[in-house]
């Protein structure tokens, strides 16, 4: 099936709905309700699904729905289990302590997933900063580091890398991306520290004084639920799901029809929900279903309207000037708006048709230098918009439920363009592109980012910065 350019219209309308409806006074209140978000998603998505089915592309629809099922099952399981764990206590909301929160989240994200790490840490971060007026920037950098860039080191960290594991990429291959992970997260943390110093200096002294008096040692409530995190992690790493390829080729066994991975993940979540303390979940964590319902509603529309968009991309791919650099930027740019997991899968398949050694993955495999570019682009650029990665919207929703005024869809992009995009340019020059000129450009960008952070972090008054 050949998809015309106008086939992109439903997907574009879906993006515009997410960006515009919250900004219009007449629609903003209605858009906040997940049922209205679901209505918009289905109005745009169901006609696309019907079009694909009538055009003989029913397999594409089933694949999209199944990937959505896998996607939402993982997010739901991690969201529920994280809600049963609470980091008690209240430390001083200094820039140093906030950086430690984000740094810890950036490390654990690779091992319990960006969703699990984000849901586990966002509430303690918000509680720690509740006396402060300027908090939105902290949530934004939590999305950058914890909900996205920290998840690069293992296939458990971010959904795109998990799709690579399913395509034969060795579990330990992503460990080789350590220096890319270290550079990006270090620069983000440095930038955040400088910015938070400036913001801290602008806080009301009485609020800072109150924060200093309301401190309590940190301790974990509900630590036993880390067992359920372990079950989810092992299920992702080891358990099979429905084998669509075997079913479609007539080689299916009885187990090919069993979504064992999702059964184990959702079973662990159900046990956590049943056995967990209501005081921890609904009291200390103020647990609400709205964040995951919002993600579920919006992303069903994205997954359905994305079908013709990805097909159109596959059609024009042979005309694109594909090399390491363009793989990085095109995969990344599309991951910002298409959700990074299916975008990764699309470019993985495109790269498998190109020559190059060594090759990674099931036969025929993907040239490793292309796989590096695709992996970096999919994971890092997922932080560029609220819809680039599933946890982004969840973090935003949790923050707003506590009274933090978060930027709009377009407002968030201004932050990511200003602070994240220069770092990604540096990555492309240092780790992706070939040639001395690109190396010089990349390291020059790093130097400029550091200089900007130093100047931004300068505090010119006598307000204590606590760092």
Q: Residue 465: its pLDDT value, please?
A: 39
How many Å separate Cα 26 from the centre of its chain?
A: 30
pTM: 0.80
Q: Which residues of the chain have pLDDT under 70?
A: 211, 457-467
Q: What is the CA radius of gyration of the chain?
A: 22
Q: What distance in Å separates the CA atoms of residue 411 and residue 420, rounded to the nearest whole number?
A: 14
b/e map 349-386, b = 16+ CB within 10 Å: ebbbeeeeeebbbeeebbbbbbbbbbbbbbbbbbbbbb
Q: Residue 459: its pLDDT value, please?
A: 57
Q: Residue 381: its pLDDT value, please?
A: 95
Q: Which pLDDT tens digit goes with each residue over 423-459? A: 999 999 999 998 999 999 999 999 999 999 988 766 5
Q: Residue 460: its pLDDT value, please?
A: 52
Q: Where are the domains of the chain?
A: 5-456
Contact predicate 187/447, CB 8 Å: no
Instruction: Give the DSSP H/E element, type plus range, for residue 109.
Output: helix 95-128
Contact predicate 354/326, CB 8 Å: no
Which two tokens mark 196?
């938070």
Q: Which pLDDT tens digit goes with each residue over 97-154? A: 999 999 999 999 998 889 889 988 898 899 889 888 899 999 999 999 999 999 999 8
Q: What distance in Å separates the CA atoms of residue 321 and residue 237, rounded to the nearest whole number?
A: 35
């Amino acid at each position: 099936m050949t998809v015309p350019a106008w086939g992109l219209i439903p997907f574009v309308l879906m993006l515009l709905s997410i960006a515009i409806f919250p900004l219009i006074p007449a629609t903003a209140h209605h858009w906040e309700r997940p049922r209205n978000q679901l209505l918009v998603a289905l109005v745009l998505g169901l006609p696309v699904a019907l079009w694909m089915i009538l055009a003989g592309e029913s397999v594409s629809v089933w694949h999209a729905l199944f990937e959505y099922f896998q996607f939402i099952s993982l997010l739901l399981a991690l969201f529920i289990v994280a809600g049963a764990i609470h980091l008690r206590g209240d430390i001083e909301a200094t820039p140093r302590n906030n950086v430690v929160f984000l740094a810890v989240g950036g490390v654990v994200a690779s091992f319990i997933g960006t969703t699990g790490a984000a849901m586990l840490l966002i509430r303690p971060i918000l509680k720690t900063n509740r006396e402060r007026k300027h908090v939105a920037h902290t949530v934004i950098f939590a999305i950058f580091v914890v909900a996205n860039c920290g998840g690069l080191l293992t296939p458990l960290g971010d959904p795109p890398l998990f799709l690579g594991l399913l395509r034969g990429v060795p579990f330990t291959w992503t460990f080789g991306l350590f220096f890319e992970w270290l550079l990006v997260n270090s620069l983000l943390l440095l930038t955040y520290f400088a910015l938070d110093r400036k913001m801290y200096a602008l806080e009301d002294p009485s609020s800072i004084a109150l924060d200093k008096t309301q401190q309590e040692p940190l301790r974990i409530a509900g630590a036993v639920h880390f067992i359920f995190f372990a079950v989810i992690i092992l299920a992702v790493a080891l358990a099979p799901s429905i084998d669509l390829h075997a079913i479609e080729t007539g080689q299916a066994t009885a187990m090919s029809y069993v979504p064992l991975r999702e059964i184990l993940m959702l079973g662990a979540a159900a046990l956590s929900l049943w056995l967990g303390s209501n005081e921890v979940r609904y009291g200390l964590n103020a647990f609400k279903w709205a964040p995951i319902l919002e993600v579920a509603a919006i992303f069903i529309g994205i997954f359905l309207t994305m079908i013709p968009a990805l097909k159109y991309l596959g059609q024009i791919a042979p005309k694109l000037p594909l090399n390491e650099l363009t793989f990085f930027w095109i995969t990344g740019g599309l991951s910002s708006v298409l959700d990074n997991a299916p975008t990764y899968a699309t470019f993985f398949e495109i790269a498998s048709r190109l020559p190059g050694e060594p090759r990674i993955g099931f036969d025929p495999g993907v040239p490793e230098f292309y796989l590096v570019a695709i992996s970096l682009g999919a994971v890092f650029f997922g932080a560029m918009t609220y819809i680039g990665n599933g946890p982004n919207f969840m973090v935003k929703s949790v923050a707003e439920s506590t009274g933090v005024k978060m930027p709009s869809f377009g407002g968030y992009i201004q932050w990511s363009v200003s602070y994240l995009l220069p770092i990604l340019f540096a990555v492309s020059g240092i780790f992706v592109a070939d040639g001395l000129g690109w190396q010089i450009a990349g390291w020059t960008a790093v130097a400029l980012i550091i200089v900007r952070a130093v100047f931004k972090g300068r505090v010119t008054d006598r307000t204590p910065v606590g760092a």
